[in-house]
Amino acid sequence: MITRALSIILASFFSAIFAFAPIAPSWAASEFQSTTLGETTSIAPAHSTGLIAQAAPHTSFVASAVNRIGLAVVRIDTERTITRQPDPFFNDPFFRRFFGDNMMPQGPYEERLQGQGSGFIVNADGTILTNAHVVEGADRVTVILKDGRRLEGTVLGVDEVTDLAVVKVRGGGLPVAPLGDSDQVQVGDWAIAVGNPFGLDNTVTLGIVSTLNRSSALAGIPDKRLDFIQTDAAINPGNSGGPLLNEIGEVIGINTAIRANAAGIGFAIPINKAKEVMPILARGEKVTHPYLGVQIATLTPDLAKQNNSDPNSTVMLPEVAGILVVGVVPNSPAATAGIRRGDVITQIDGQSLTDAEALQNLVDRSGIGKTLRVTIRRGNATQQLSVRTAELENRS
C-alpha cells in the first residue's frame, strides 16, 4: 500500500516537472529528431559533435550593391589644347622694361588643360557611358580601370543637349554595369553614388532619391533638356559621368550636376534617357532635337494678377492658365510664325497645356519639320498660329 502510494506521488511529481518545463524554441541548439518521408535524422548542436557554429559575415546592402558594379566604374582623364591670346598687361612698356621682351608672349599661344570625370562600362566590348561635359573637346581620353589598367579611349559621340557621351576602349571581357529601370524609381528610394570626386578614386556616397522629374531649368541648367533624378547622396566635381545606383546595384542614373549654392542637392540623368540616346552616339550619329525657339514659363491666373497689379509691370498678361512666352529667339520657327514675348500658349494641336515642361516634352516628341497648330492668348484676343519645328543646333 505504501509502495503504491509512493509510486503515485513520484509519478505526480515528475508529471509536474514536465508540465512546467519550458519548451525549447525552434532556433535553440538542442538535439532533436526530424522525421521526413519515413526516415529519421538526428540533428545535434554543433558543440555536441566538436564543430564550432559560426555566424555568416554581415554585409550591408550598400556593400553588396557596390560589389556588384564596382569593377565596371572607371575614371576618365582628359587633355585638351586651347589657344589663348596674350594678356594686354604683357604689352605694357613698364612691365616689359623689368621682365624683357623674351619673357612675354608675342602672339596667340597654346595651353594644355587637364580634366577628370567618371564613367561606367555598359558593354563587355569596351563601350563606356559618361557625361558630354567630361569628354567634350578632349584631344586625349584615358580610361583607368579599378584594377589599375590604363586604356586609350575614343569618343564615339557627344550630345550636348542631354549631356551624354559614349567612349570606347579596346578590350574584351570587361566588367559590365547592370542597368536598371529609372521609370520604377520612387521618391525615398536609396541612392548610391559611385565615382572619383576630386581624384579620390572609387568613392561611394549614400543618400535617397529626393525628387523625380526635376527640370533642368529649375536645376539651374537651362541649356539642357532633361528631367533629373534629384538626390542628397554627395556628388562632387569628378563624380560627373559616374553611376547612381539603387539598393541592389543597378544603375538608375548618371551623376551630372550639383547646386553650387546648396548642400545635399545633386542631379542625375535617368538611365532610361541614356538608353535612348546611347545607341545613336555609339554609331557615331548625331542626336537631333526639335525646337520652336521660345523661352517659356508656367503661368497661372494668380501669377498673372500679381503681374497686372504691379504698377511697374511692362506687360499686361491674360489671367489664364497657360505657358508664358518670356522670350523669342531671333530667326527661330517661333519668330517666323509671329509668336511674341508676352503671348500665352494655351493649346497645341487642340491639346490644352498649362505647364512649361509639358510643352517642352510635346515638342521633343514631335520630330523635325512637324507643323504644330499653336493657340495663343495675346491680350484679350485668341489667335491660332502654325509653327514648323526646326533642328536645335549644338553650340559646339
pLDDT digits (tens, 9 = 90+) for 239-249: 999 999 999 99
* pLDDT band for position 218 (cuts 50, 70, 90): confident
Beta bridge partners of 359: none
- Residues annotated as part of the active site: 133, 163, 240
Has residue 253 got a pLDDT over 50? yes
Does the domain spanning 66-169 belong to CATH 3.30.930.10?
Answer: no
* pLDDT band for position 29 (cuts 50, 70, 90): very low
Has residue 154 got a pLDDT over 60? yes
Provide the pLDDT for residue 7.
Answer: 46
Provide the pLDDT for residue 92.
Answer: 60
Contact by Cβ (8 Å): 213, 198: no
- For 18, counting Cβ atoms within 10 Å of its Cβ (0-12 exposed, 13-18 middle, 19+ buried), the class is exposed
Provide the pLDDT for residue 24.
Answer: 35
Provide the pLDDT for residue 15.
Answer: 39
* 229, amino acid identity: I
Provide the pLDDT for residue 37.
Answer: 37
Share of the chain above pLDDT 90, in %: 56
CA distance 82 to 300: 47
CATH topology of domain 290-391: Pdz3 Domain (2.30.42)
- For 369, counting Cβ atoms within 10 Å of its Cβ (0-12 exposed, 13-18 middle, 19+ buried), the class is exposed
> How many Cβ atoms from other residues are within 10 Å of residue 337's Cβ?
19
* pLDDT band for position 207 (cuts 50, 70, 90): very high
Has residue 82 got a pLDDT over 70? yes
Average pLDDT, the chain: 82
| HSE-up of residue 71 (Cα within 13 Å, Cβ side) | 11
- Mean pLDDT lowest for which of 51-55, 112-116, 220-224, 239-243? 51-55
Residues 6+ apart with CB under 8 A from 75: 116, 117, 118, 119, 143, 144, 196, 201
Average pLDDT of 61-84? Answer: 90
CA distance 168 to 150: 13
* pLDDT band for position 13 (cuts 50, 70, 90): very low
Average pLDDT of 261-278? Answer: 92
* 221, amino acid identity: I
Residues 6+ apart with CB under 8 A from 360: 215, 225, 296
Correct CATH for 182-282 of 3.40.50.720, 3.40.50.1380, 3.30.1540.20, 2.40.10.10: 2.40.10.10
Has residue 51 got a pLDDT over 90? no
CA distance 266 to 260: 10
DSSP 306: H
Give the residue extent of every domain in the chain.
66-169, 182-282, 290-391
Give the cell for residue 173: 571581357
* pLDDT band for position 78 (cuts 50, 70, 90): very high
- CA distance to 132, 332, 357, per residue, from 339 (Å): 33, 10, 19
CA distance 340 to 326: 9
Provide the pLDDT for residue 49.
Answer: 42
- Per-residue pLDDT reduced to its tens digit, 345-361: 999 999 998 888 888 88
SS3 of residue 110 by DSSP: strand
Has residue 62 got a pLDDT over 80? yes
- CA distance to 292, 295, 308, 340, 356, per residue, from 313 (Å): 26, 19, 7, 17, 22
SS3 of residue 341 by DSSP: coil
- Per-residue pLDDT reduced to its tens digit, 131-149: 999 999 999 999 999 988 9
Which helix (DSSP H) or strand (DSSP E) does residue 211 occupy?
strand 203-215
Which helix (DSSP H) or strand (DSSP E) does residue 7 occupy?
helix 2-20
Has residue 41 got a pLDDT over 70? no
Provide the pLDDT for residue 9.
Answer: 39
CA distance 195 to 204: 7
Share of the chain above pLDDT 70, in %: 78
Has residue 366 got a pLDDT over 50? yes
> How many Cβ atoms from other residues are within 10 Å of residue 189's Cβ?
15
Provide the pLDDT for residue 315.
Answer: 84
- CA 337 and chain centroid, separation: 36
290-391 has the same fold as 182-282: no
Residues 6+ apart with CB under 8 A from 283: 156, 157
